[in-house]
Amino acid sequence: MSLYRTELRRLGKRRFARWATVLGLLVLGAVLVGVFFTNQKIGPEQQAAAQRQAEQQYQEQVRWAEQERKACEQAKASGQDQQQEGRFPPDCEMITPPPPESIEARWFLPSTFDFRASFEEMIVTFTAILALLGFVIGASFVGAEWSSGGMMNLLLWRPQRLTVLLTKLAALLTGLVAVTLATATLWTAGFWVVGTLRGTTEKMTSGVWQSFALTGLRGLVLIVVAATIGFALASLGRHTAMALGGAIGAVVVGQFGLGIVMSMAGARFVEAWLLPTYGLAWMTKKVTLEDWNACNATYYGECKPATFDLTWQHASILFSVALVVVLGAALVSMRRRDVA
The per-residue pLDDT for range 110-127, each reduced to its tens digit, is 888 999 999 999 999 999
Backbone angles phi, psi at 39, to 5 degrees: -125, 160
Q: Which residue has the higher pLDDT, 24 or 88?
A: 24
Q: Distance between CA atoms of 43 and 47, rounded to whole angstroms?
A: 6
Any idea of the CA torsion for 123, 214, 116, 280, to the nearest 10 degrees? 50
Rounded to whole angstroms, what are the CA distances from 255 to 178, 205, 222, 271? 31, 39, 19, 10
β-strand partners of 296: 304
Q: Distance between CA atoms of 236 and 245, rounded to whole angstroms?
A: 13
Of 73-77, 181-185, 226-230, 247-251, least confident by mean pLDDT is 247-251
For residue 233, how far is the Cα from the chain centroid?
Answer: 24
- How confident is the model at residue 151, as a pLDDT? 67
The per-residue pLDDT for range 198-227, each reduced to its tens digit, is 989 998 999 999 999 999 999 999 999 999
- How confident is the model at residue 290, as a pLDDT? 80
Computed over every residue of the chain, the mean pLDDT equals 82
- Most confident range (mean pLDDT) of 9-23, 64-78, 142-156, 166-180 is 166-180
Q: For Cα atoms 285, 291, 292, give the angle at the middle one, nearest 5 degrees.
A: 135
Of 264, 265, 304, the C-alpha closest to 288 is 304
Beta strands at 199-200 and 113-114: parallel, antiparallel or unpaired: parallel
CB atoms within 10 A of CB 218: 20
Q: Which residue has the higher pLDDT, 126 or 290?
A: 126
Q: Distance between CA atoms of 102 and 96, rounded to whole angstroms?
A: 13
Q: Where does residue 203 fall: left (phi above 0), alpha (psi -120 to 50 degrees), or beta otherwise?
A: left
Q: How confident is the model at residue 247 (pLDDT cuts 50, 70, 90)?
A: low
pTM (two decimals): 0.81
Judged against a pLDDT cut of 60, whether residue 81 lies above it is answered with no
The per-residue pLDDT for range 19-49, each reduced to its tens digit, is 999 999 999 999 999 999 999 888 888 788 8
Rounded to whole angstroms, what are the CA distances from 65 to 89, 99, 110? 13, 12, 28
Beta strands at 303-311 and 113-114: parallel, antiparallel or unpaired: unpaired
Q: For Cα atoms 332, 337, 340, give the angle at the middle one, nearest 5 degrees.
A: 140
Average pLDDT of the segment spanning 311-338: 88
